[in-house]
Amino acid sequence: MPCLLLLLEIDYGDWVSPLVLVVGGGIGFLVVWSLTRHTRRVAHEQAAELVEVARREAAVAAEELKQKAEADIQEKRADANREFDRREIEADVRLREIRAHEESLALLDYQFEQKQERLNRENAAIRQARDAIRALSKGVRKRLEGVSQMDADAIRLALREEVLLECQDELRQLRRETLEKSEQELQTNARRVLVAAMQRLASQPANDLTSTLVPLPSEEMKGRIIGREGRNIKSFESATGVTVLIDESPQMVLLSSFDPVRREVARVALDALVKDGRIHPASIEEAVKRAQAEIDLTTTQAGEEAVARLNINGLHPEIIQLLGRLKFRFAYNQNALDHSIETAFLASMLASEVGLDPNVAKRAGLLHDIGKAASSELEGSHAHIGAEFIKRHGETPIVVNAVAAHHEEVKPETVYAGLVILADTVSAMRPGARAESMTVYAQRLERLEKLALALEGVQQAFAIQAGREIRVVVAPQVVTDDGARELAKQLRAKIEAELQYPSTIKITVIREQRFTETAT
């Protein structure tokens, strides 16, 4: 640029220099403006890139923080669940201890009542003997007064009658003592036999009865189980006969059905569908068929294992398969198949102790509850259904009668029926065999008290002895003595009709009037 200006100055002189300056200045301005604009544009682009990089880094950091927070939440939730389970187990243990103490107190109360009754009988006998002695003394005095007027034959006859009377009293006393001693020996021997059999049996503790829950890998699986417009869940419920409950519980669904075998089939089928991932009506039908075949095989194996464990021969295959279905049934939290095996062992041991055939007792004990696994469409009690079933498949009349009579619905015809009744009672009533959960136990006691309070004239009701006794206090102004007796009968009928309970419930109605005065 300076060279150009110099040439212009040389060629044109002084009049051209102002124009050249203006043109040069404009060109310089344009160059500077272009460079400035380019620099600003580059700066804006770099700034935008930096902002974008910063935004991405912030998003990544936020996602990491979110994942870490979710992991912490899951860990704390798992800790809370474990703590809740631990406390629930501790509560169940304490409840069982309380029940054991209550049963001990009940036994002591029963023994005390027996001793009190025996003392009352002995006191009555003593009073009777004292009155007899007084009467005898009066008779002797009268006879002595008349001895002087009696001859030898009359005296001999009187002495004979007196000796005969005394011997009869002694014979009666001796017979009573012999009978009491025989009864005590029989009770002691029976107690020894029963305790010996129970000590020989080493049975496993009761199983925990819980709801049938199926875990899911993710919450998204719930939507796939439901399907479009609910077609998958409807197809699954129709094929299995169970109700599928899907709520807000994280990653799990609940299967509900009164039939435990159907519930187990549904659980196996749903597990298979979740693992496969393909859930639609066709795959549901296939999975249910496979699950049913698997459960049939499982029940057959369970029945065969029970028979092999007890070393029983000659059972019909249909009986073995139906026996295996008891594996999925529970009484409170006692497994029905384990209870049958335990009853068989106890019956066999008791039969051995009293000199009977242990194999017959073992067979009857194993089959006594087989009617519980039969179809619900059959009418009658499980004892009757089971007896008819094994009778059709060739069991002996002794075993059939023992199965039919184990709840005393029919008359026991053999000693083996009595052994099965005893073994069944021992297995079901031993401590911890059929323990309820704390919630169910509390609800049953509350229901028992409400049944009593609903009757007219009842002021208070207390369920005691772990629900085996209820004491009812009535208003004496409203309920008479005869009314209290009728109220006890009404309450017994309501309990039998509306409440499910193990063993028996003793009902005690209390009616009393109290009059208090204060002397000043």
Higher pLDDT, 162 or 310: 310
* Judgement on whether residues 356 and 423 belong to the same structural domain of the protein: yes
pLDDT at residue 126 tops 80: yes
Q: What ranges in 430-480 are assigned the alpha helix state H?
A: 438-453
Q: What pLDDT is recorded for position 276?
A: 80
* Judgement on whether residues 419 and 312 belong to the same structural domain of the protein: yes
Counting residues of the chain whose pLDDT is more than 70, the rounded percentage is: 79
What would the pLDDT profile of 95-119 be if each residue is shown by its tens digit?
A: 888 888 888 888 888 888 888 888 8
Q: What pLDDT is recorded for position 429?
A: 64
Q: Is residue 161 part of a domain?
A: no
From 440, 501, 463, select the one nearest 91 (Cα to Cα). 440
Q: What is the mean pLDDT of residues 153-177?
A: 68
Residue 287 belongs to domain with CATH number: 1.10.3210
* Judgement on whether residues 346 and 450 belong to the same structural domain of the protein: no
What would the pLDDT profile of 400-444 be if each residue is shown by its tens digit?
A: 998 888 888 888 888 888 888 888 887 776 554 454 555 666 778
Q: Distance (Å, rounded) from C-alpha 104 to C-alpha 431?
A: 11
Residue 71 CB contacts under 8 Å (≥ 6 apart), including other chains: none
Q: What is the mean pLDDT of residues 347-353?
A: 86
Q: Which two tokens stand for residue 252?
A: 């799990």
Higher pLDDT, 171 or 306: 306
Q: Is residue 382 part of a domain?
A: yes
The one-character DSSP state at 476 is T
Per the CB < 8 A criterion, the answer to whether 331 and 434 are in contact is: yes
Domain closes at, from 409, 429, 449: 429
What would the pLDDT profile of 41-80 be if each residue is shown by its tens digit?
A: 888 888 888 888 888 888 888 888 888 888 889 988 888 8
* Judgement on whether residues 344 and 393 belong to the same structural domain of the protein: yes
Q: Is residue 180 part of a domain?
A: no
Beginning with the edge strand found earlier in the chain, give each strand of the sheet holding 212-215 in spatial order.
Answer: 212-215, 252-256, 243-245
Q: Distance (Å, rounded) from C-alpha 349 to C-alpha 358?
A: 7
* Judgement on whether residues 417 and 498 belong to the same structural domain of the protein: no
Q: Distance (Å, rounded) from C-alpha 339 to C-alpha 427?
A: 7
Question: Among 112-121, 143-152, 505-514, which is the least confidently predicted range?
Answer: 143-152
Q: Distance (Å, rounded) from C-alpha 448 to C-alpha 499?
A: 8
Residue 251 domain boundaries: 212-429
DSSP letters of 55-108? HHHHHHHHHHHHHHHHHHHHHHHHHHHHHHHHHHHHHHHHHHHHHHHHHHHHHH
DSSP letters of 162-223? HHHHHHHHHHHHHHHHHHHHHHHHHHHHHHHHHHHHHHH--PPPPPP---EEEE-S-THHHH
Q: What pLDDT is recorded for position 5?
A: 43
Q: What is the 3-state secondary structure (H, E, C) of 225-272?
A: HHCHHHHHHHHHHHHHCCEEECCCCCCEEEEECCCHHHHHHHHHHHHH
Q: Own/partner pairs for 384-388, CB < 8 Å, 24+ apart?
A: 384/409, 384/410
pLDDT at residue 284 tops 50: yes
Identify the H or E element spanning 146.
Answer: helix 17-147
- For the chain, the first-to-last Cα distance in angstroms comes to 137
Q: Distance (Å, rounded) from C-alpha 414 to C-alpha 400?
A: 11
Domain closes at, from 87, 106, 123: 87
Provide the mean pLDDT of the chain: 79
Total domain count for the chain?
Answer: 3
Q: Is residue 489 part of a domain?
A: yes
Counting residues of the chain whose pLDDT is more than 90, the rounded percentage is: 2
* Judgement on whether residues 217 and 285 belong to the same structural domain of the protein: yes
Q: What pLDDT is recorded for position 199?
A: 46
* Judgement on whether residues 297 and 417 belong to the same structural domain of the protein: yes
* Judgement on whether residues 285 and 336 belong to the same structural domain of the protein: yes
Q: Which of 137-146, 201-210, 237-246, 428-437 has the highest mean pLDDT?
A: 237-246
User: C-alpha angle with apex 24: 18 to 28, nearest 5 degrees?
Assistant: 145
User: C-alpha angle with apex 239: 235 to 243, nearest 5 degrees?
Assistant: 75
User: C-alpha angle with apex 442: 440 to 445, nearest 5 degrees?
Assistant: 110
Q: Is residue 47 part of a domain?
A: yes
Q: What pLDDT is recorded for position 182?
A: 57
Confidence band for 214, pLDDT divided at 50, 70 and 90: confident
Q: Give φ, ψ of 357 to 5 degrees.
A: -75, 115
Identify the H or E element spanning 128.
Answer: helix 17-147
* Judgement on whether residues 425 and 451 belong to the same structural domain of the protein: no
Residue 333 CB contacts under 8 Å (≥ 6 apart), including other chains: 206, 207, 208, 209, 434, 435, 436, 437
Confidence band for 10, pLDDT divided at 50, 70 and 90: very low
* Judgement on whether residues 425 and 458 belong to the same structural domain of the protein: no
Domain closes at, from 397, 429, 461: 429
Q: What pLDDT is recorded for position 517?
A: 78
Q: What pLDDT is recorded for position 207?
A: 42
Confidence band for 229, pLDDT divided at 50, 70 and 90: confident
* Judgement on whether residues 397 and 491 belong to the same structural domain of the protein: no
Q: Is residue 185 part of a domain?
A: no
Q: Is residue 381 part of a domain?
A: yes
Residue 478 belongs to domain with CATH number: 3.30.300.30
Q: What pLDDT is recorded for position 189?
A: 60
Q: What ranges in 382-520 are assigned the alpha helix state H?
A: 382-392, 397-404, 415-429, 438-453, 481-498
Q: Is residue 377 part of a domain?
A: yes
* Judgement on whether residues 321 and 459 belong to the same structural domain of the protein: no
Q: What is the mean pLDDT of residues 265-281?
A: 83
